[in-house]
Structures are given as C-alpha cells and as structure tokens.
Structure 1
Amino acid sequence: GFLGGIRDLIMTTDRLDLYEDNLTIVATLLFPQEASFLYAFSVDVENSFILKGRASIFIKGGHHS
C-alpha cells in the first residue's frame, strides 16, 4: 500500500527526535473500502499528543487481506 494523503494534521512540535521518552503511536481504522482505508492517528509522548490527523492508505491493485 501507499500513503494517499494526510488531512486535519495538528502538530505541537516541529521535530519528533527532540523527545527522549518513548512515543506512543495509535491508528484507528475509520472507513475500510476494497482498495483504500481511512485512519485516524495520533502520536503521544508522556500522555500528551504531539501530532494527530487522518491518513488515506491505498492498496496497489485494489486487493487486501
């Protein structure tokens, strides 16, 4: 698959490599289709979000398992 686009991106930082603590990445499937998926995602550090948004993922050939 490949990234088709990102929407509604909110960032509270310019760089992710500035954080020494572990990053928590969460992705939630919002809308599955035959050849694409829409996810909400977030990246948190120390229980505070540093970025969040929605991502469209497309599957080459339109088939997924």
Structure 2
Amino acid sequence: MRIVEIQWRKSSFSEQSGNCLELAVVGGGVLVRESDDPAVVIRTTAAKLAAFLEGAKAGEFDDLV
C-alpha cells in the first residue's frame, strides 16, 4: 500500500483573518477542510469546485458574509 502525503493549500487572504479553508488534490478529486477542524474533510470534483468558484467570483454568495 502506498501512503500519499496530502499537500494542503490555503489562500494568502486567510492569513489576515485566521479563518481559512484548505484545499488539496488527491487521486483526481479535491479535498476541502477547515484549518481549525482538520478532521472533517469534504471530497468533491474539480468541476464542482470550479462551478462554485465561478459563482463566488460573480457575487452569488456575497449575502452570506
């Protein structure tokens, strides 16, 4: 069995607030977790993440913050 070290990434904007989501690419999928609760991990696809990011860039979630 091959053990893969996950390389988590977060936005440079996270440093300012301390609130951050971390992302990693593993086995063709994308993992998402909160840095303050790293045991909870969500797996999604690159296509679903891209659709979400497009919506975020377009301001579709601005009312949530």
Do the structures match in fold with TM over 0.5? no
> Which structure shows the higher strand fraction?
1
TM-score, length of structure 1 as denominator length: 0.29
TM-score, length of structure 2 as denominator length: 0.29
> Which structure shows the higher helix fraction?
2
